Amino acid sequence: MKPRLTIVTPSYNQAAFLERTLRSVLDQGYEPLEYLVVDGGSTDGSVEIIERHADQLAWWVSEPDAGQTAALNKGLRRATGDIVAYINSDDYYLPGAFDAAVEALSRSDARWAAGAARFVDDRDNVTEVWRAALPTTPRHRWVLDPVGWPQAASFWRRDLFEEFGLFREDMHYVFDTEFGLRLALAEVLPAIIDRELAVRVVHPEAKSWDRTPFELEEMKLLELYRGALTPTERLRMVLPAAGKRLALWRSHSALRRTKSNAAAEG
């Protein structure tokens, strides 16, 4: 018997992408699967899309909430799976992702697993692939570069959330980074899956399009954990994150220029 897998999708006004997200979970053919969709009261047709798949969902709700983190925690509190993961409503899984993640955890003592995530623009052009890498020492990478693991390609044993707590609801942008840092400081490292498991869609309506709020919360994160880090770690924790922000900003800028040129030509 395979372990029970819970997937949570937080959603708000992403009808343009939601169908693909839902299908990417349901078409995996994984059993036993518990799929929870937490919608924040969408008004763009998302609810109608969710209703079409309601008979395949373990639970869903559409009601106002306090944002993505609160929605995720609402789902995690209901989760009964041995393994849990979440996929945002504008991203999607690649075929075979669930089997690969479960197999990696089954053959390892690791309590979570991280694969690679493909980044695409809103025309499905690949802009980047982020791969997780196992650190050579417990504090080498996951403390110094906590944004180095792709969230969409990550799967956790549910008891990690019972032991370390849920996502911080006072964070709306780097809450997953903060959770990863909690694990890193406790030397809870992932099993690495050497394949692409998920796709992140970078588009102007995406939460990650504007990087300024992320940068502000990253500084808050550094302040929260300043006492747990050495002076060298405090410095080096910022630099890799800045490099990744620069790479993503360049990707966004190129996409903006493409859209501006297309509009001008039209």
| 39-86 confidence digits (pLDDT tens) | 999 999 999 999 999 999 999 999 999 999 999 999 999 999 999 999
- Report the pLDDT value the prediction gives residue 217, as an integer from 0 to 100: 81
Q: State how far the Cα of 191 lies from the Cα of 203, in Å rounded to an integer.
A: 30
Structural domains counted in the chain? 1
Cis amide bond preceding 95, omega within 30: no
Say which amino acid occupies 25.
V
98-126 per-position pLDDT tens digit: 999 999 999 999 999 999 999 998 888 99
Q: State how far the Cα of 62 lies from the Cα of 33, in Å rounded to an integer.
A: 21
In degrees, rounded to 5, the angle at the alpha carbon of residue 257 between the alpha carbons of residues 256 and 259 is 65
Q: Which one, of 85, 92, 68, 125, lies nearest residue 200 by Cα?
A: 92
Query: In sequence order, what DSSP letters do the residues of 189-231 get, joined into one string?
Result: -PEEEEEEEEEEEE-TTSGGG--HHHHHHHHHHHHHTGGGS-H
240-260 per-position pLDDT tens digit: 444 444 454 455 555 555 555
Residue holding tokens 């509009």? Answer: 263
**Domain that residue 196 falls in:** 5-265
